[in-house]
Amino acid sequence: MHPATAPTILLVHAEAPARLALATPLRAAGWDVVEAATADAALQINLEAYPAVALIEHAAGRDLCAALQSARPPHDLHCALITATLPQPSPTDEVIDLWLLRPFNDQQLVAQVRLLMRLAMLKQAHMQSLPLPYEEIIETTMDGFWAIRVRDERFIMVNDAYCQLSGYSREELLKLHIADVEADDDEEAVKQRINTIMATGLVRFESRHRRKDGTLFDVEISVRLIDSHEPLMVVFARDITEQRKTERRLQEQHEQFLTIFDAFPAILYVVDPATDEVLFVNKVFQELLGHDPVGKKCYCEFQGLSERCSFCTNEIILKTRQPHVWEYHNPIMNIDLLITDQIIRWPDGRDVRFELAINITTLKQVERAHENLSRELARKNRELEQIVYVTSHDLRSPLVNVQGFSRELQATLDDLSQQLATLAMPDAQRDMINLLIKDEIPESLHYILNGVSRMDTLLKGLLRLSRLGRKDLSIETLDIQRMVHETLNALDFEIKQAGVQVNLHPLPACRGDAMQVSQIFANLINNALKYLDPNRPGEITISATKSKGMVVYCIADNGMGLAPEHQEKIFELYYRLDPAHSEGEGLGLTIVRTIVDRHSGWIKVESTLGVGSQFFVALPEAL
């Protein structure tokens, strides 16, 4: 009820008692009732008062309604005709808002008029922008609002929100049928829907509406039937286009992730660690299992067990909250898996176990083959070392014998020649024996002894190399600066004699075995001195740089240099370019390489024939 003004009802009835009978309950309900006995009298009344509802006896009829309405702005007067029987529909029915079918009691009359009054107020408020509270609500809400007359499924009211949503003006919408804005339902479907609403009273559903420009938008509709003599449907239409868009986007994203997870060539699954229930598996895993395990217990589905696996990592990952990486050999499928387990937050807020398992069976096979090969190699190496050691060691004793007996033989020859002098024989015969004893046999003995001595040197070298490889390393931080200094001091005489200039740069410390590392520097500096070019003043430079956790020492000379084809070979056992040039066994660089290898370092040479050489040795940097 409008709080400020009691709405006015124009009551037109020819008979005074009947008018009174109608007016009394209406006045009791709080309305002002203006009475008229005839149509003319009714038209004389000034109905400026707000709002105006006309309650007209049927006899006075439609014409009066039409006349009253045309005398006032459209939609401003709301007419109810009182009748005993519903008349045939007529085109002029537009002017009638409600048929009040007799018989009715006072309560029914008041209820019907109240409905009409509400409609009137709604329309009035709508026309005059009066601040009716529900009008404000309806206009304030972001949802579209309509009132629809069930009779002809036409809009009798729409709010601004729906006008904006649909792109239609209020006047345009008021001329439309519901099916005009329904995008998916035709008139038949709309009718069916209305029947459902009529049967149930309140219905909510989702639909799509068409704007004036033809574009579509998603709406959530709630409809309530106001069941009166003139049934109305009150409809709220909420624009859910954005919501739908977001949902569709989320759905798309969801599908994208699923596509990625399914295409990922690894096992992926999610389990609730509290219940061991499988929440998700990707396609790879599902195909491997041959069925969908979601909703069931993981240990049962994945391992065929009746209780939690003994190697379950739940406790670890729940405690550390860190990814836990481990390897597992599945004896049933005979596959090796590299597994990463971790706790992640499931969309519903639960902490769940996420497992990623990559099949590394092939990798493992290669790894095992590699391990076998390495073991075999180590065994063969040990065997070889043993052979080298035994042969070099044991061959030396017969060699010593050969050497000893050769010397013995030499002494015997002297005795023999003395004995020969005392014997009488023809001169020619004596000369021949003397030639044998004094020249030919000693010459052969000389060759034998030389050979033996050469063989001894070779065997000693082999023995040294073999001992080097077998000796345990004692790794410590080494002051290389001091070590090189000492080496240079020891070679002071040779350096001075050859007139060599030595440039010594700062040398960082490294880690290694003192005895062996000092041998590296001694051999390289010795070689630098040994293979200088006699035609120019010698210069040796020792420097260092650091790179990737290693110290790279460089021993550079301006000596003879090496042709490219020799640069790799010089590290081979007994390899010498020019044995006549200088003393040597061809073992120094082999020893250097062996030591460097044992220290997980590397060695290389850069050299230009006739210009000089640079030997680079990398050893682990001191911590």
Q: Which of 555, 548, 550 is nearest to 505 (CA)?
A: 555
Residue 347 CB neighbour total at 10 angstroms: 6
CB of 445 to ligand ADP, least distance (A): 28
CB of 377 to ligand ADP, least distance (A): 25
Written as one letter, the residue type at 420 is: L
How many residues are present in the chain? 623
Closest to ligand ADP by CB, 158 vs 592, is 592
CB of 610 to ligand ADP, least distance (A): 11
3-state secondary structure of 347: coil
Closest to ligand ADP by CB, 297 vs 576, is 576
Widest Cα–Cα separation across the chain: 196
First vs last C-alpha separation in the chain: 92
Residue 308 CB neighbour total at 10 angstroms: 15
Written as one letter, the residue type at 28 is: A
CB of 400 to ligand ADP, least distance (A): 24
Closest to ligand ADP by CB, 312 vs 556, is 556
Helix (H) or strand (E) holding 42: helix 39-44
Report how far residue 544's alpha carbon sits from residue 553's, in angstroms, rounded to the nearest whole number.
4
CB of 509 to ligand ADP, least distance (A): 25
Report how far residue 78's alpha carbon sits from residue 54's, in angstroms, rounded to the nearest whole number.
6
Cβ proximity of 139 and 126 under 8 Å: no
Q: Which two tokens stand for residue 125?
A: 């408020």
From residue 126, give the alpha-carbon distance in Å to each of 10, 71, 118, 532, 605: 21, 20, 12, 112, 99
Closest to ligand ADP by CB, 509 vs 555, is 555
> Who contacts 317 (Cβ-Cβ below 8 Å, separation ≥6)?
273, 323, 324, 341, 342, 343, 353
Closest to ligand ADP by CB, 51 vs 461, is 461
Report how far residue 143's alpha carbon sits from residue 334's, in angstroms, rounded to the nearest whole number.
62
CB of 591 to ligand ADP, least distance (A): 8
Closest to ligand ADP by CB, 80 vs 589, is 589
Closest to ligand ADP by CB, 241 vs 567, is 567
Closest to ligand ADP by CB, 337 vs 528, is 528
CB of 470 to ligand ADP, least distance (A): 20
CB of 534 to ligand ADP, least distance (A): 13
Closest to ligand ADP by CB, 314 vs 607, is 607
Q: Which of 486, 487, 521, 489 is nearest to 591 (CA)?
A: 521
What is the pairing mode between strands 475-478 and 550-557? unpaired
Judged by the rule CB under 6 A, the positions of this chain that interact with ligand ADP are 523, 527-528, 531, 557, 559-560, 562, 570, 575-578, 584-590, 613
Closest to ligand ADP by CB, 116 vs 462, is 462
CB of 597 to ligand ADP, least distance (A): 15
Report how far residue 255's alpha carbon sits from residue 162's, in angstroms, rounded to the nearest whole number.
34
CB of 364 to ligand ADP, least distance (A): 42
Report how far residue 117's alpha carbon sits from residue 36's, in angstroms, rounded to the nearest whole number.
19
